[in-house]
Amino acid sequence: MGSTTSVVSAALAFGIAATIAVTRDRWAKESRYAPLPPGPPKIPLIGNLGDMPTLGREWETYTQWAQKYGEIVYVEVLGHPIVILNSFKAATELFDRRGSNYSDRPSTTMLRDVLGWDWIIGFMPYGEWWRRHRKVFHTYFNPKAVVAQYPVQRKAAHGFMKSLLESPSKFEDHATRFSGTIILESVYGYEVRAEKDPYVELVHKADEAFNKVAGSTFLVDIIPLMRHLPLWLPGTKSLRDAQKWKKLALDMRSVPFKLLQDSMKDGTAPSSLVSEEINKIQSRSEGPPDDLDVVRNCAGAAYGAAADTTTSTILTLILAMVLQPEVQKRAQAEVDAVVKSRGGRLPDFDDMSAMPYVECCITEALRWRPVIPCAIPHRNINGDEYEGYHIPAGSVVIGNIWAILHDATDYPEPEAFKPERFWGHNGHTPARDPLATVFGFGRRVCPGKHLAMNSVFLAFASILATFTISCAKDESGNDIIPSTVYTYGSTIHPQPFECVFTPRPEAVEMLQRAGEF
């Protein structure tokens, strides 16, 4: 027990001493520059530690600060500078126009040393290793390349509609399976058949772990020596949980990859991102020895990121249709006019341009409840100045997507779901497009956004064509109005809610034409 106490005391002493040194050094340096951006008052040594949000809804706290201090807010935690950007103007200027300086990622002890998640492209430092991964993503997920995934997405959407017809109360499970099916088949060539597929379940559990970690700051990040503490000590629960989270992430990266490698050996592997890249590596006479690691990392990261975010957006659209029946009717009328003129089939990708209101609904869903309310933090390499304020080198720079997309100047009545705000017909000027914000910023923008948008369009248009969604009823026949309060974490989802999917007259016939019956 004495040795344990010594370790704890040493860790705390080191943390305090390091904080004093960092703070003293920073004060000495900052006196030479322009003033720091405004923010909550700081307490000596600990800075704004007591002001930082702890319940996982940090974007709400940041948005409140924006209303008080402005578009750029500065806080400091134990000597570490944090800058929060709350406007489209500031995020665009720093992340896009000054991208060479603002594309790095902060390195945290929990992510890097405890969990070992440095293989995930979203968390990688800016540099050559990251560029090699980005190149693979761009090869397969650029706007032209994702056309190759149309058959996979089409089949998954038709299966989604059949599942809704057979068991509508499980719509959340069906949406999760739809998203997981697309990414598993396109990345690994793995076809999901079972309702409770083990690989879909794996990514769902891994995403839950990501959600808990990526949007949080842990004590071990502030006092790195804590990672050496015995796990039975009070206050080390996050370190104990990390052992489970680490295994889930590594399984997500390695298990489906190993399955594909085995199928390639016996000649049964279908074409996929991973099989194509492995064939390229094997056909080269020489190349970097870690090429296979790059492919494995990209596949695991795509597998984890795409499924969760696509599911969340689809559920948001379902929720919005329950709450806004008039919006649903207008969108259905547009879908009906298009599909009936094309033989009464289910919607397809070539219908997208003929369904502008449906696209407005999707755009509004992304704005109204952005899946990732705060972008993964950036880090500036060199000190900088913006609007007369100094941004210290090595700052954690956070793009507050929620504040940007709920700015009443750009989006009047920001809490209202109003697809019409993006309606650009008949001389009407549409509101600022959230797609320039919701997928992240600058050189770190999400590389899978084109695949995700295609998946969401096909699922949503197909739902509108085949079902009418309405409120569930209580025992007295009254509508059960779903909540618009979302879960919290690095990604958000609607709280579980009930609704009714009523098949439209054309539903079965459309699915028969699609070969689902």
Q: What is the pLDDT of residues 330-361, one digit of tens each?
A: 999 999 999 988 888 899 999 999 999 999 99
Strand pairing class (396-399; 80-85): parallel
Rounded Cα distance, 369 and 486, in Å:
8
For residue 396, the SS3 value is: strand
Report the distance separating Cα 405 and Cα 370, nearest Å: 8
For residue 184, which amino acid is it? Answer: L
Confidence (pLDDT) at 227: 83
Neighbours of 243 (CB within 10 A): 11
pLDDT, tens only, 78-125: 899 999 999 999 999 999 999 999 999 998 888 888 888 889 899 899
Helix (H) or strand (E) holding 379: strand 378-379
- pLDDT tops 90 at residue 329: yes
Local confidence band at 55 (pLDDT 50, 70, 90 cut-offs): low
Which of 419, 506, 509, 514 minimizes the C-alpha distance to 465? 506
Residue 446 is predicted with a pLDDT of 93
The predicted structure's pLDDT at residue 239: 85
Q: Kindly report the pTM of this predicted structure.
A: 0.90
pLDDT at 452 over 80: yes
CA pair distance 128, 121, nearest whole angstrom: 12
The single-letter DSSP state of residue 146 is G
Query: Residue 9 pLDDT more than 50?
Result: no
At 12, is the pLDDT very low, low, confident or very high (cuts 50, 70, 90)? Answer: very low
- Percentage of the chain lying above the pLDDT 70 cut: 92
- Do β-strands 389-391 and 396-399 pair in parallel, antiparallel, or remain unpaired? unpaired
Q: Which helix (H) or strand (E) holds 98?
A: none
Q: Using N-to-C axis directions, what is the helix angle for 291-323 and 198-214, rounded to 10°?
A: 90
Q: Are strands 80-85 and 72-77 parallel, antiparallel or unpaired?
A: antiparallel
Percent of the chain residues past pLDDT 90, beyond the cut: 64
From the number of C-beta atoms within 10 Å of its C-beta (0-12, 13-18, 19+), residue 502 rates as: exposed
What 3-state class would DSSP assign to 224? helix
Sheet strands (E) in 47-162: 72-77, 80-85
pLDDT tens for 66-75 read: 999 999 999 9
Domains and CATH numbers, the chain: 2-513 (1.10.630.10)
Q: Please state, as a whole number, how many other Cβ atoms lie within 10 Å of the Cβ of residue 55.
A: 9
* pLDDT at res. 512: 77
Q: Compute the average pLDDT of residues 33-49.
A: 93
Supply the DSSP string of 357-386, one letter for each residue: HHHHHHHHHHHHS-SSSBPPPEE-SS-EEE
| Average pLDDT of span 239-244 | 85
Q: What is the pLDDT of residue 517?
A: 57
Confidence band (pLDDT; 50, 70, 90) for 149? very high
Whether 262 shows a pLDDT value over 90: the answer reads: yes
Q: Which of 372, 392, 374 shows the shortest CA–CA distance to 383?
A: 392
Work out the mean pLDDT of the chain and round it to a whole number. Answer: 88
Contacts of 210 (CB under 8 A, 6+ apart): 249, 304, 308, 490, 491
Q: What angle do CA 375, 254, 140 make, to 5 degrees?
A: 60
Instruction: Match 């998203």 to its residue by tokens.
Output: 179
**How far is it, in rounded angstroms, from Cα 146 to Cα 398?**
30
- Residue among 423, 424, 405 nearest 366 (CA): 405
Which of 451, 422, 407, 429 is CA-nearest to residue 364?
Answer: 422
Provide, for the chain, the percentages of residues in helix, strand and coil under a 3-state DSSP scheme, each rounded to the nearest 5. Answer: 60, 10, 35
Cα-based angle 504, 507, 512 (whole degrees, multiple of 5):
165
- Cα separation, 135 vs 263, whole angstroms: 26
pLDDT confidence of residue 496: 95
Structure tokens at 414: 């920001």
Tens of pLDDT, residues 503-512? 998 877 878 7
Q: What is the pLDDT of residue 348?
A: 96
User: Can you tell me whether residue 77 is helix, strand or coil?
Assistant: strand
pLDDT of residue 200: 83
Per-residue pLDDT at 23: 52
Asked if residue 420 lies in contact with residue 367, where contact means CB atoms within 8 angstroms, the answer is no
At a CB cut-off of 8 Å and minimum separation 6, what does 165 contact?
466, 503, 507, 508, 511
> Which tens digits make up the pLDDT trace of 264-275?
999 999 899 999
Which pLDDT belongs to residue 24? 53
Tens digits of per-residue pLDDT, 188-215? 999 888 778 888 888 778 777 777 776 5
Q: Which of 276-285, 361-370, 393-402, 474-483 shows the lowest per-residue confidence on average (mean pLDDT)? A: 276-285
What value does the CA radius of gyration of the chain take, rounded to a whole number of Å? 24
Q: What is the bridge-based pairing of β-strands 499-503 and 467-473?
A: antiparallel
- Could you give the CA distance from residue 163 to residue 171 in angstroms, rounded to a whole number? 8
Rounded to the nearest 10 degrees, the angle between the axes of helix 325-341 and helix 449-466 is 90
Q: How far apart are CA 482 and CA 494, in angstroms?
A: 9
* 304: its two tokens: 């984890």
Residue-wise pLDDT tens digits, 472-512: 999 999 999 999 999 887 889 999 999 999 999 887 787 87
Contact predicate 7/229, CB 8 Å: yes
- For residue 421, the 8-state DSSP code is G
Helix (H, G, I), strand (E, B) or coil at 389: strand
